[in-house]
Amino acid sequence: SLRRILVCGGAGYIGSHMTKYLAARSIEPVVLDNLSTGHRRMVRWGELIEADLLDADALDRAFASRPPFDAVMHFCARSLVGESVQAPYDYYLNNVSGTLNLLQAMQRHGVDRIVFSSTAAVFGPPQAERIDEDHPKAPINPYGASKLMVERMLADAAHAYGLRSVSLRYFNAAGASPDGDIGEAHDPETHLLPNVLRAALGTGLGLKIFGNDWPTPDGTCVRDYVHVDDLAQAHLLALDYMTHHPGAHAFNLGNGDGHSVMQAIRSVEALTGRSVPFEFAPRRSGDPAVLVASSERASKELGWQPVYRDLESIIETAWRWHKREAAPASSSAPPGSATS
Ligand code: UDP
């Protein structure tokens, strides 16, 4: 049974929602994070071990903590497509070498289950309207390549050492905890929905749409947005699944609907009643035109049932969080959160 889980990257956006989700189900999360992009103030469910995956001794100390971990959930990564094109060594070092260190530490300490954060970026240009698990994997940026290399390591480790794993390929993670507790707080923020919401609030740096000449209906890129709490749900289901399914598995997670950048802006305007100023800018390197998931396998095999199926309900949760973030610090910040 699952009592205690090491959540690597638990101070980040998706990882922090995972810790809240686990705690609500009486499973203890322990967060391991180097706080390079995560925030101490997001670690509110479970202890924080401040450590880097590249530091094997620190990993040994973390795994020596008692009682032992029943499994690992691994959200640590450099995760920006554009940045990965500019700085590929950072991506291979952190995402590939870092994960290898983690897997070796798990082996030294007898932990044999891991849920891995993978990505739609492992696929490259879609050859079908919806991308299923069997779609060819041909990443067009170092970020996607680094994640695919880890999927391969997990498959090899299943064969050689009996490691059990599920790779979850997120399409576009979005939204926030519906009570407005935690949300997406990247700095600088590069993701679409937070930037659109900041533009609606007048707090952003000026919204740019990267390309209006893509081969899509309105010329802007199409993505499949999926709520963070639905991703958290899939992680817990993945751990259940491993109990009866040894080996390495992978599932695509999305809602199966594509929304263009322009449509996302219009949805935010409709939902908030505010206008969203933007300008068109050149394409961003590494971006594919369209990424939409088929998640039939996750629903059949894992029993995954997303709660937030449409873009509006996802935006609504994110809007609540962004409004709160933009409010004066005294009314929104819990005590002791001044530094991050
Ligand atoms: N995008 C944009 N302006 C922004 C941020 C993103 O036009 O300020 C576009 C981006 O080019 C991509 C889509 O929105 O086509 C989603 O980008 P995001 O960075 O949110 O996620 P990704 O698909 O890269 O994981």
CA Rg value for the chain: 19
Q: Whose CA is nearest to atom 24 of ligand 1?
A: 81
**pLDDT at site 339:** 38
Examine residue 175 and state whether it is found in any structural domain, yes or no: yes
**pLDDT at site 330:** 46
**pLDDT at site 136:** 97
Q: Is 143 a catalytic residue?
A: yes
Examine residue 47 and state whether it is found in any structural domain, yes or no: yes
Examine residue 334 and state whether it is found in any structural domain, yes or no: no
Examine residue 339 and state whether it is found in any structural domain, yes or no: no
Residue by residue, DSSP assigns 217-273 as: TTSS-EE-EEEHHHHHHHHHHHHHHHHH--SEEEEEE--S--EEHHHHHHHHHHHHS
What distance in angstroms lies between residue 317's CA and the mean position of ligand 1's atoms?
A: 19
**pLDDT at site 332:** 45
Examine residue 78 and state whether it is found in any structural domain, yes or no: yes
The ligand 1 atom at the shortest distance from the C-alpha of residue 195 is 8
Whether the pTM exceeds 0.90: the reply is yes
ipTM: 0.98
The CATH number for 303's domain is: 3.40.50.720
Q: Whose CA is nearest to atom 19 of ligand 1?
A: 191
Give 222's strand partners. Answer: 260, 290
Examine residue 118 and state whether it is found in any structural domain, yes or no: yes
What distance in angstroms lies between residue 236's CA and the mean position of ligand 1's atoms?
A: 28
Beta strand segments in the chain, E: 4-8, 28-33, 48-50, 71-74, 113-119, 164-170, 172-174, 207-210, 222-223, 225-227, 248-253, 259-260, 278-281, 290-291
Nearest C-alpha neighbor of 133 from the set 146, 145, 118: 118
The ligand 1 atom at the shortest distance from the C-alpha of residue 79 is 25
What distance in angstroms lies between residue 193's CA and the mean position of ligand 1's atoms?
A: 8
What distance in angstroms lies between residue 223's CA and the mean position of ligand 1's atoms?
A: 9
Q: Which domain holds residue 150?
A: 4-329
Ligand 1, pocket residues at CB < 6 Å: 81, 172, 190-192, 195, 207-210, 221, 223, 261, 284, 287
Q: Whose CA is nearest to atom 11 of ligand 1?
A: 210
Examine residue 173 and state whether it is found in any structural domain, yes or no: yes
How many structural domains are present in the chain?
1
For residue range 117-132, list pLDDT tens digits in order.
999 999 998 999 999 9
Examine residue 337 and state whether it is found in any structural domain, yes or no: no
For residue range 199-243, list pLDDT tens digits in order.
999 998 899 999 999 999 999 999 999 999 999 999 999 999 999
Three-state secondary structure call for residue 153: helix
The series of mean pLDDT values per 10 residues for the chain, 340 residues long, is: 95 98 98 97 97 98 96 98 96 98 98 98 93 97 98 98 98 96 92 97 94 98 98 98 98 98 98 97 94 98 98 98 82 42
